Structure 1
Amino acid sequence: MRNFEKPTRSVAVSARAMAATSHPCATLTAINILQAGGNAMDAAIAACAVQCVVEPGSTGIGGDCFALYAPSGKAEVIAYNGSGRTPKALTIDWFEERGLTEVPRQSPSAVTIPGAIDAWTRLHADHGRLPFADVLAPAIRYAEQGYAITPRVHRDWQKEEEFLATDKAAAEIFLPNGRAPRIGEIHRQPKLAATLRRIAVEGRDGFYKGAVAADMVAHLKAHGGLHTLEDFAVAKGEYVTPVTTSFRGHTIHECPPNGQGIIALLILNILACFDNKLAPQSPDRLHLEIEATRLAYAARDAWIADPAKAHVPIDELLSEDFARDLAARIDLARALTELPDFEMPLHRDTVYISIVDEDRNAVSFINSIFDSFGTGLVAPESGVILHNRGQSFSLERGHPNMIAPEKRPLHTIIPGMVTRDGRTEMSFGVMGGYYQAMGHAHLISKVVDYDMDMQDAIDLPRLIPVGGKVPRVEAEHTMPAETVAELTRRGFEIVPADDPIGGAQVIRIDWENGTLTGASESRKDGIALGF
């Protein structure tokens, strides 16, 4: 049980249904949809659409989406990969001819064809209950009538003022009066409202064909992009088979590559090689989590790619032998200095949504434009922010994740689901770009290994390795000084994190009592609510 004298908050508890998101408007929207007769999928899409309006730095309809869905709370989990592919004409030669060694952020070459709207429309058609127009109506209302700026949204928005000013359309929409809106001010996006109305009526064709697609393609081409209307017209996601591992009697489900969910499972497999007698936030335990993450991320950067375009050794990554081999490298007396090469993990912007309805349908739903405001390129007539997911590609020839035509990049966004004894136990997710795999393992370990209150587990100080072979670790300022000192003594270079690390939402089903318990990220503006 939480310490009620500490400045935290209780988990949410309800009997019928629950929603947890990173924005109050999105959570309330989900609850309203559920009370109006919608199911968990309706509520998740509605909440996400609202966040695409009220959290424009974190997500948008010009981004990508992944989802896990457990109908009726059963153990058979459905996965959908809504990540986009590169334009057909984009090759690595294009970058080499220009002397580029990485994909630039504010460039059309960073824009894969957005997969979110395809995912929403497909998931709604297959699993939703309410009319699609009703699901999008709250987002349209916020975009037309306006929404009040919340504290974390303002903080993230203000940091991107200079960046947004470089694109005329972005500046017109997102820098009214030449600056980011302040806390409590009202902001409107009428162009995005019109686009959402078109999608509400026409479905996916309202985005991937016609005026909206033409607007996006024209803007990309004006900046030197190789996108075509055909690239948009043929874009589609797909249902995929989740990857799983067993952790202390629980089955953890993740979307398979090209996402990094399998790396969360690898971290858990490494942690499973050790007992859980270490105190949950002790230097020994944090040392173990850091090294498990560094080793797993090395494997990620070596192998994770689009399995339709490259071989991804899924069975090897999930094997007990591989986890044991990596675990044997960890020395709790000192930081590892010998690791395979891997790039520095970065913090990115995403929204994660967890919903469970009264029929115990559970949805784990995540939507992202990668960096804050993505590329910073905004289609001028439709108001669509274009993401920069293509930055996750490698420009090294022969690398499995090398950029290529019609290919999906290594993806950071990963919804999670936990089942046990034939039923769904938790719908969970952690935001924060490359942190997400570590975040998944950290959260599940704290809840499962230590029976920790979910909100307490979310509120714990966080850290993330960022140095590759150099054992450099970013830590939030709330990490105890004595812990930082001990990790430093062991050879880790601890540096302050520039931003709060990640964010999380989780809902747990109590089958015995017939109730739901939810928690939402204290580093964001959101909340978990139920009824």
Structure 2
Amino acid sequence: MLLRHTIACLLFVFNLVYASSLNHTKTRNEVIIAHHGAVATDDRRCSKIGMEVIREGGHAVDAAVAAALCLGVVSPASSGLGGGSFMVLSLSNGVAKAFDMRETAPLLASKDMYGGNTTLKATGGLSVGVPGELAGLHKAWKQYGKLPWERLVKPAEILALRGFKISPYLHMQMEATESYILNDNGLSSVFAPHGKLLKVGEICYNKKLAETLREISKFGPQAFYGGKIGINFVKDVQNAGGILTLEDLKRYTVKEKEPISIDFLGLKILGMPPPSGGPPMMLLLNILAQYELPSGLSGTLGIHREIEALKHVFAVRMNLGDPDFVNITAVLSDMLSTKFAKVLKKDINDNMTYNSSHYGGK
């Protein structure tokens, strides 16, 4: 199978809102305004699964787990058990918590292991880190979940076993990686069972993933991080040229962190700390808040301001690093600082743009 480093985007995809409520108002086909709860993912089927969990009395974490596992089935190019994720919780008692379940580098990893070959960073066995999504979802569920674990995994298992329709987005990703799919027995058996890529709307079956989810529903994450699934996973990665070991899986640890926050337009915005993209997002919001909103960001001038702000944000972002190995205290403080954002805003010209060096680039 094609081994790619994937990141699961768990709670922050807003293409579609599918809300759960006993009292809601439908404003248009794609959006529902609710008063008691909502589940938002980038696939209606997964949003519906999360909604059903809420209606059964499940916690928001229960819904997030079920929806995330669903996304790993119907949107495997963007999410899945082989990747990692972040989760930010804001609880009813005022407590906020962040779960860092991102992938980590294998124990045998080294800074020169790619030998200058950038392709190896993106595809193949050497691109595979130690997956964290399943461990993180299970840990969050253990702390806050109300429904049985098996209940949350079952919908994804059923989708993989009984089949699901290929979405336009998934088909686009399949076309972008067609050569990989057709040259890989595992991938082609799922996405091109008759020698050609499945089309939008055609049914896709992933029975091996269904078997994996069934084991996980019964035995929890230990089936993945130390059991038969983990052993087979490590074997596949190593056969593809990777350096992942069973010891890597057994030693994986989810990190619990304090969320970062800023005040924006009178609201407290919570975000994921590094190594996520939370700090750059906070800096962008702080810069844009210096304009009179919403009028200050309307029209072509508003687009220009957003683009210029993003240039500054990405330049500052280059000073970040893995907090496990790099001291990023100072740059993180700047990225959350309103004072620093004001300095950058003053450097934005409404009538012109500049070369990269103006923004801190090289």
TM-score (norm 2): 0.86
SS at match of 2:79: coil
- Listed as ranges, the matches of 1:258-297 within 5 Å are 258-276=275-293, 278=295, 280-297=297-314
SS at match of 2:121: coil
Q: Kindly indicate whether residue 226 of structure 2 is the aligned counterpart of residue 206 of structure 1.
A: no
TM-aligned CA deviation for residue 161 of structure 1: 1.6
Q: Kindly indicate whether residue 143 of structure 2 is the aligned counterpart of residue 123 of structure 1.
A: no
TM-aligned CA deviation for residue 323 of structure 1: 1.4
Q: Is the deviation greater in 166-175 or in 222-231? A: 166-175
Aligned residues: 334
Counterpart pick for 1:91 among 91, 107, 110: 110
Q: Which amino acid in the other structure matches residue 36 of structure 1?
A: E
The separation in 1 between residues aligned to 2:244 and 2:142, in whole angstroms, is 28
> Who is 2:337 aligned against?
319
The separation in 1 between residues aligned to 2:35 and 2:299, in whole angstroms, is 36
SS at match of 1:231: helix
* 8 Å CA contact 1:158, 1:179 repeated in 2: no
> Who is 1:22 aligned against?
42
The separation in 2 between residues aligned to 1:243 and 1:177, in whole angstroms, is 49
TM-aligned CA deviation for residue 239 of structure 1: 1.0
Q: Kindly indicate whether residue 90 of structure 2 is the aligned counterpart of residue 70 of structure 1.
A: yes
The separation in 1 between residues aligned to 2:345 and 2:70, in whole angstroms, is 42
TM-aligned CA deviation for residue 279 of structure 1: 5.1
SS at match of 1:34: helix
Q: Which amino acid in the other structure matches residue 300 of structure 2?
A: P
Q: Kindly indicate whether residue 176 of structure 2 is the aligned counterpart of residue 159 of structure 1.
A: yes
Detail structure 1 runs of 4+ shifted over 6 Å in the superposition.
Answer: none
The separation in 2 between residues aligned to 1:60 and 1:101, in whole angstroms, is 23
Q: Which amino acid in the other structure matches residue 332 of structure 1?
A: D
Structure with greater strand percent:
1
TM-aligned CA deviation for residue 307 of structure 1: 0.7
RMSD: 2.2
TM-aligned CA deviation for residue 341 of structure 1: 8.1
The separation in 1 between residues aligned to 2:275 and 2:285, in whole angstroms, is 19
The separation in 2 between residues aligned to 1:30 and 1:277, in whole angstroms, is 32
TM-aligned CA deviation for residue 338 of structure 1: 4.1
TM-aligned CA deviation for residue 325 of structure 1: 2.1
> Who is 2:70 aligned against?
50
Counterpart pick for 1:308 among 315, 324, 332: 324
Query: Structure 1 pair 326/146, CA: closer, same or farther in 2 (3 Å)?
Result: same
Q: Kindly indicate whether residue 271 of structure 2 is the aligned counterpart of residue 254 of structure 1.
A: yes
SS at match of 2:357: coil
SS at match of 1:65: strand
Query: Structure 1 pair 336/58, CA: closer, same or farther in 2 (3 Å)?
Result: same
> Who is 2:258 aligned against?
241
Q: Kindly indicate whether residue 353 of structure 2 is the aligned counterpart of residue 335 of structure 1.
A: yes
Asked which structure has the greater RCO (Cα within 8 Å, sep 6+), the reply is: 1
SS at match of 1:94: coil
Structure with greater helix percent:
2
* 8 Å CA contact 1:263, 1:296 repeated in 2: yes
> Who is 1:136 aligned against?
153
TM-aligned CA deviation for residue 223 of structure 1: 2.0
TM-aligned CA deviation for residue 17 of structure 1: 2.8
The separation in 1 between residues aligned to 2:124 and 2:170, in whole angstroms, is 24
> Any stretches of 5+ residues in structure 2 without a counterpart?
1-27
Question: Deviations for 1:283-304, whole angstroms, at most 9, x for unmatched residues?
Answer: 2211111011110111112x22
TM-aligned CA deviation for residue 261 of structure 1: 0.7
> Who is 2:17 aligned against?
none
TM-aligned CA deviation for residue 326 of structure 1: 1.5
Query: Structure 1 pair 41/282, CA: closer, same or farther in 2 (3 Å)?
Result: same
TM-aligned CA deviation for residue 101 of structure 1: 5.5
